[in-house]
A and B are shown apart, each in its own frame.
Chain A
């Protein structure tokens, strides 16, 4: 029998980016917030300092900052004809755990969606005709770029984002991304430096008529006081960013940017090492009454609340809905139901550029968002007529991760071990750069999330089951964008070899083994039609009006950008409507 705790105004599941932002905004609005987090307390100042944090084995290979599969994993299969089996070891994606969540080990590549991304169905239908989307569950988000812009801008000021604006209030700016939506203000900080390969990529891309620009970066470039008054420091390009916490206070993260300014708030309480099992519902099923969780002492407790915010990782939010009976599970046979529908991923390919000895890439000098990018083949920035696919991706020369266990570049046709391999690694390591194609991922009826019929987690709950393979659309998209990246690579000077890898190549199935990206999206998507979305355009559940949902699970399909920027824009949009409307008069904010 669960112990019932005193009621709180808001209970927040998860202490990552969105959970701490919700706590900060709602605590300031007078709401008593209880944040429940499964992992450990930690802090940049005490837990992420060099040199100890600069330990590739511990953090990048043993993944100490990530979720541990014995307590939380999912099962996986490529299609409904297979039997899903547990993802027994982390690989393709790396959800976080502990204070700050995956926001601790992210890279800081901080993007905005294109205006057309948020109206993907209506945009493509208007420009090319509806049939270009046949076989896909591509949808509009129900919220526009102009509506999100103030919130995207605010998050830039939470992170101290570094970059060059390409569009200021409708005016195209030199050196920025000319395809981006209008910014109401410039980046808070100047762009990062460019390493030699990035300079070469920039020059070559420009000569080819493309529009290179510095990747928007939450690795800050100057001392910066953020929108909440927290202090950030300039990046040292130490090269331990993705998969690591930043002890320099240089990579914006949820702890230093938000937690530090809310932790002493009278309306804020954080409960660590506490695993939420389910959201409880009222007798009539129309509202949630709170959450039941296992506390740090292993006791099952019930935390009643007027409002429930789901701020766990995208996949775990969906899992929590399914095990709690929130919403209606998606049925791929009938196409009905919405929870678990529109799961999408990211379609990753890359060109691998091997320079001669005159070019020193020094890949260990890096930062999570150190990149030179073109957006000419992302979204609908290029004409899709007769291409046979929708979507695209950015192409970016990135220098983020030159640590030697995971970074052993070898030219094509090198043996995978032995004397020749050793010689090739030795010759290539300091003279190599990767050009990533960060591709979008459309939603299709066959890809979805539900509960596994066989496997259970450490709490006796069924595992989430993922059914996913790369849709044909994305295979074509990826091959096309990769061909453009390869062309740039071959046009660069001092190049002795170019290799390619395409995770979505024809004939290859998606695998959970090799790392690709921690950008799992969808399953609880936002929209304006309860038949095709779990939450309305304010992030409020159609079926339970006091449950608000945050994170990349809201994306109707995944865009060609990293998700943190878009999902934080959505988070502040939702919080704005909670603070200024819902909490004064709790009710459904849209008619179903």
Chain B
């Protein structure tokens, strides 16, 4: 697929959409090190743009990156393409019946088909989420989260919202080896140091932990994981601002 760029796909988000996603030099140490020029594993361009738009309402940019800036769309794409998306860990034997909320997931869908079907039905009209302005997007996500005004057939709106929001949080805060939390965006935001393991000397002290985050595939001597795809311009750690 020549000249394909995920970034370019996501840039088609309209004037009120994403802050610029800065192309960055990659530090290719594994096959997910630079995802930008690889085709999506599961999503199509419209789905990716929808998820980026929605994810950035859920986790918008401030001093720290938005969800999509932190690679959440890449994360969701990989998750939906993999065992999780295909329903690993889900008992999917019928019959399917509408249940009480206390009975949990009762839809005849895997996460992947739920999200694909749900987005297709949400986007079946003339208006795309990416075409809305910021306040309209927020209103849309609010209504989706409350399940109002949406008839999505066998996809309950709140189930769809909960599933996407769950994936967005996972993408923002999981180890960067899964494609999200780029440059430890989520971990730097809260102050989680990652895969450090030894706090026996510190646990009873009332003091901040000094070291920057370190993931499972941490690159020694840097403040990044091998799986991140964007260059980090600053030196380090807690106060690092996004360059975009």
If over half of B's interface residues share one DSSP class (helix, strand or loop), that class is named, otherwise mixed; here it is: loop
Q: Does B4 contact A (CB under 8 A)?
A: no
Q: Does B8 contact A (CB under 8 A)?
A: no
Q: Which of A50, A87, A88 has the most CB of B within 10 A?
A: A88
In the complex, chain B residues whose CB is within 8 Å of the CB of A63: 89
Q: Name the CB-closest residue of A to B206.
A: A196
Q: With A and B bound together, what is the CA distance between A82 and B99 in angstroms?
A: 9
With both chains docked as a complex, state the minimum distance between the C-beta of B189 and any C-beta of chain A, in angstroms. 5
Of residues 161 through 207 on chain A, the ones whose CB sits less than 8 Å from some CB of chain B are 193-196, 199
* CB-CB under 8 A for A236 and B93, given A194-B204, A422-B60, A423-B62: no
Q: With A and B bound together, what is the CA distance between A426 and B185 in angstroms?
A: 12
The answer to whether A360 touches B174 (Cβ under 8 A) is no
In the complex, chain B residues whose CB is within 8 Å of the CB of A199: 204
* CB-CB under 8 A for A430 and B90, given A418-B138, A422-B59: no
Q: Does B74 contact A (CB under 8 A)?
A: no
Q: Does A412 contact B (CB under 8 A)?
A: no
The answer to whether A195 touches B203 (Cβ under 8 A) is yes
Q: Does B71 contact A (CB under 8 A)?
A: no
Q: With A and B bound together, what is the CA distance between A511 and B203 in angstroms?
A: 34
In the complex, chain A residues whose CB is within 8 Å of the CB of B50: none
Q: With A and B bound together, what is the CA distance between A365 and B206 in angstroms?
A: 12
In the complex, chain A residues whose CB is within 8 Å of the CB of B141: 417
Q: With A and B bound together, what is the CA distance between A70 and B110 in angstroms?
A: 12
The answer to whether A68 touches B204 (Cβ under 8 A) is no
In the complex, chain A residues whose CB is within 8 Å of the CB of B192: 364, 402-404, 429
A530-560 to B contact mask, C-beta < 8 Å, 1/0: 0000000000000000000000000000000
A418-455 to B contact mask, C-beta < 8 Å, 1/0: 11001101100110000000000000000000000011
The answer to whether B203 touches A365 (Cβ under 8 A) is yes
The answer to whether A419 touches B60 (Cβ under 8 A) is yes
In the complex, chain B residues whose CB is within 8 Å of the CB of A418: 57-60, 138
Q: With A and B bound together, what is the CA distance between A104 and B73 in angstroms?
A: 33
Q: With A and B bound together, what is the CA distance between A240 and B64 in angstroms?
A: 26
Chain A residue total in the interface (Cβ 8 A): 71
With both chains docked as a complex, state the minimum distance between the C-beta of B217 and any C-beta of chain A, in angstroms. 8
Q: Does A91 contact B (CB under 8 A)?
A: yes
The answer to whether B89 touches A430 (Cβ under 8 A) is no
* CB-CB under 8 A for A456 and B93, given A404-B173, A419-B60, A509-B100: yes
The answer to whether B175 touches A56 (Cβ under 8 A) is yes
B98-134 to A contact mask, C-beta < 8 Å, 1/0: 0111111110000000000000000000000000000
Q: Does A581 contact B (CB under 8 A)?
A: no
Of residues 188 through 240 on chain B, the ones whose CB sits less than 8 Å from some CB of chain A are 189-200, 202-209, 215-216, 218
Q: Does B186 contact A (CB under 8 A)?
A: yes
In the complex, chain A residues whose CB is within 8 Å of the CB of B59: 417-418, 422
Interface size class of B (residues with CB under 8 A): 35 or more
Binds B, one of A18-26, A71-79, A385-393: A71-79
Q: Does A519 contact B (CB under 8 A)?
A: no
Q: Name the CB-closest residue of B to A403.
A: B192
A106-145 to B contact mask, C-beta < 8 Å, 1/0: 0000000000000000000000000000000000000000
Q: With A and B bound together, what is the CA distance between A87 and B193 in angstroms?
A: 34
Q: Does A283 contact B (CB under 8 A)?
A: no
Q: With A and B bound together, what is the CA distance between A240 and B178 in angstroms?
A: 18
In the complex, chain B residues whose CB is within 8 Å of the CB of A230: none
Q: Does B25 contact A (CB under 8 A)?
A: no
The answer to whether A234 touches B90 (Cβ under 8 A) is no
Q: Does A55 contact B (CB under 8 A)?
A: yes
Q: With A and B bound together, what is the CA distance between A85 and B97 in angstroms?
A: 8
The answer to whether B170 touches A69 (Cβ under 8 A) is no
Q: Does A513 contact B (CB under 8 A)?
A: yes
Q: Does B84 contact A (CB under 8 A)?
A: yes
Q: Name the CB-closest residue of A to B175.
A: A55
The answer to whether A89 touches B200 (Cβ under 8 A) is no
Q: With A and B bound together, what is the CA distance between A240 and B103 in angstroms?
A: 29
The answer to whether B178 touches A234 (Cβ under 8 A) is no
Q: With A and B bound together, what is the CA distance between A220 and B6 in angstroms?
A: 48
Q: With A and B bound together, what is the CA distance between A54 and B177 in angstroms?
A: 12
Q: With A and B bound together, what is the CA distance between A402 and B203 in angstroms?
A: 13
The answer to whether A88 touches B106 (Cβ under 8 A) is yes
In the complex, chain A residues whose CB is within 8 Å of the CB of B173: 56, 404-405, 408
In the complex, chain A residues whose CB is within 8 Å of the CB of B100: 78, 82, 509
Q: With A and B bound together, what is the CA distance between A235 and B203 in angstroms?
A: 11
- The residue that A237 contacts in the complex, of B165, B175, B200, with Cβ under 8 A, is B200
The answer to whether B88 touches A89 (Cβ under 8 A) is no
With both chains docked as a complex, state the minimum distance between the C-beta of B129 and any C-beta of chain A, in angstroms. 15
Q: Does B244 contact A (CB under 8 A)?
A: no
The answer to whether A68 touches B89 (Cβ under 8 A) is yes
Q: Does B92 contact A (CB under 8 A)?
A: yes
Q: With A and B bound together, what is the CA distance between A54 and B198 in angstroms?
A: 12
Q: Does A238 contact B (CB under 8 A)?
A: yes
Q: With A and B bound together, what is the CA distance between A91 and B166 in angstroms?
A: 13
The answer to whether B207 touches A360 (Cβ under 8 A) is yes
In the complex, chain B residues whose CB is within 8 Å of the CB of A416: 145
The answer to whether B102 touches A404 (Cβ under 8 A) is no
With both chains docked as a complex, state the minimum distance between the C-beta of A70 and any C-beta of chain B, in angstroms. 5
Q: Does A227 contact B (CB under 8 A)?
A: no
Q: With A and B bound together, what is the CA distance between A88 and B104 in angstroms?
A: 7
In the complex, chain B residues whose CB is within 8 Å of the CB of A413: none
Q: Does A61 contact B (CB under 8 A)?
A: yes
Q: With A and B bound together, what is the CA distance between A77 and B97 in angstroms?
A: 13
B133-160 to A contact mask, C-beta < 8 Å, 1/0: 0000010010001000000000000000
In the complex, chain B residues whose CB is within 8 Å of the CB of A492: none
Q: Name the CB-closest residue of B to A431.
A: B191
With both chains docked as a complex, state the minimum distance between the C-beta of A98 and any C-beta of chain B, in angstroms. 15
- The residue that B191 contacts in the complex, of A76, A77, A429, with Cβ under 8 A, is A429
Write 13 A-B pairs (CB below 8 A) sorted by A numbering. A54-B197, A55-B177, A55-B216, A83-B97, A86-B93, A364-B193, A416-B145, A417-B141, A418-B138, A425-B189, A426-B64, A454-B95, A511-B102
B residues near A (Cβ < 8 Å) are 57-60, 62, 64, 84, 87-93, 95, 97, 99-106, 138, 141, 145, 165, 169-170, 173-175, 177-178, 186-187, 189-200, 202-209, 215-216, 218
What 10 A-B pairs have minimum CB-CB distances, sorted nearest first?
Answer: A51-B195, A511-B102, A365-B199, A57-B174, A429-B190, A69-B91, A404-B173, A237-B199, A54-B195, A196-B206
